Structure 1
Amino acid sequence: MSFFENTRKPQGFGGKLMTKMMNSGHSRLSQWGFSNISVNPDAEVLDVGCGGGANIAVWLSKCRNGHVTGLDYSEVSVSESRKLNAAAIQREKCKVIQGDVSAIPFPDAKFDYISAFETVYFWPELKKCFSEVNRVLKDGGTFLICNESDGMNASDDKWTKIIDGMKIYNCDQLVTALKEAGFMEIKPYADAKKHWLCIVATK
């Protein structure tokens, strides 16, 4: 397995290293993504594909009266996210569990916000996964997608060759899948210079 496969599913020592790289390397993208939404401090939040847990920490800082759950299918990601957010977990403000976005292990209409940072590239059957997100989101809830690759930069194609199962979507493809999954209001934001893409979808 190449080191870069750890972007899809961190494993072993290389996976631990990758989660730390993700936490620092994605911080600007994360900051930009969060700038496109307003957050209720009492919110119930789910961060899907939580990686190293940095975005869980951001959510916790914004939802001081709420609760944040991290979900990832990588044991390493779950472990690293728990370490980073140990204090919040101890105070029962946060939990991090292992699970799959194609079968989210929560009841209908549980969350006010769901986020997906740098992760939808690896989701199988995008419409099915988006439908699962829609299911566990409350009516009027927000789904935030942030991608460092907008599908419009030819130089990003190399990653899909290096990383098995990775697919980079453009804005139209994501919007179409979100509509098919039942999202009503969809607002895309783009940084054309950096080829960043953020989509805010409301149930």
Structure 2
Amino acid sequence: MLQLFHTYIDRQYKTPSGLIGYVIGEKMVKQHQPETHWTISLLDLNRQDTVLELGCGAGYALNKILKTEQVQHVTGVDLSPVVLKLANRRNHREIQSGRAELVHSSVDSLPLENESFHKIFSIHSLYFWEDLQAAVKEMHRLLVPGGMTILTISNGKDGEAWPSIEELIEGQLIPVMTKTGFHHIEMLMGPDSRGYHTVAIAGKKK
């Protein structure tokens, strides 16, 4: 029974649904604020930038960018209709004005135009991408030449590293990014959040 519960909660974190999905969506906003603020700072946002968040959840990062940065346009993508409703509520005014939009989609096949973004980022979404290679290709397709991507995840807790995440980064993500055409790829150390260690994998499109 306990294993079934943990499986259910893990599924909710991947794609929040139903009434509990609203709770999970807002819970993630509170849990992830330190790494969210840090990730936004890494984007080095400018007035002309168009920005895409993959796995935007309840829209906190989008809201933070829209309120504090004079970017041109922000788009949020998520697979969960439940959290997109929360994101719409949190960013309703900017969506109505046309400065922001929300898209219901998986990350490996995005209904967005080629070379339409200067910055793409995600926070705690990478673990759930079912086709990593396809998702990286989509990021590369959507970025303008010289555009940047920042992918933030946890790689350990309380001083202990997670080998599975290290393998994901070093054995899969970075090689795929290199092969796809990203350069200046680096792993940046982020803040601890609730004991979890955070890192960001950054890269630029040639």
> Are residues 58 and 155 of structure 1, via their aligned partners in 2, closer, same or farther at CA, if it must alter by over 3 Å?
same
CA contact (8 A) 1:52 1:77 kept: yes
Whole-angstrom distance in 2 between the partners of 1:80 and 1:127: 29
Identity of aligned residues (%): 24
TM-score, normalised by the number of residues in structure 1:
0.86
C-alpha offsets along residues 89-118 of structure 1, whole Å, 9 cap, x if unaligned? 122111111011110111210101111110
Aligned to 1:123: 129
Question: CA shift at 1:42, angstroms?
Answer: 2.1
The answer to which structure has the higher strand fraction is 2
C-alpha offsets along residues 113-160 of structure 1, whole Å, 9 cap, x if unaligned? 111110010111212110111101110001111112359976868xxx
The residue type equivalent to 1:27 in the other structure is Q
Q: Following superposition of structure 1 onto structure 2, how do residues 1-203 of structure 1 map, counting pairs within 5 Å? A: 2-149=8-155, 168-169=165-166, 170-173=168-171, 174-191=173-190, 194-203=196-205
CA contact (8 A) 2:156 2:197 kept: yes
Secondary structure of the structure 2 residue equivalent to 1:2 = helix
Whole-angstrom distance in 2 between the partners of 1:62 and 1:55: 11
Query: How many residues are paired up?
Result: 194
Whole-angstrom distance in 1 between the partners of 2:175 and 2:68: 30
Is there any run of 5+ residues in structure 1 with no aligned partner, and where? 158-166
Secondary structure of the structure 1 residue equivalent to 2:182 = coil
Q: Report the aligned-residue RMSD.
A: 2.4
Which 10-residue stretch deviates more, 48-57 or 32-41?
A: 32-41
Question: CA shift at 1:35, angstroms?
Answer: 2.8
Secondary structure of the structure 2 residue equivalent to 1:179 = helix
Which 10-residue stretch deviates more, 21-30 or 176-185?
A: 176-185
The residue type equivalent to 2:110 in the other structure is I
CA contact (8 A) 2:35 2:191 kept: no
Whole-angstrom distance in 1 between the partners of 2:81 and 2:35: 24
Secondary structure of the structure 2 residue equivalent to 1:146 = strand
Is there any run of 5+ residues in structure 2 with no aligned partner, and where? 1-6
Whole-angstrom distance in 1 between the partners of 2:59 and 2:113: 23
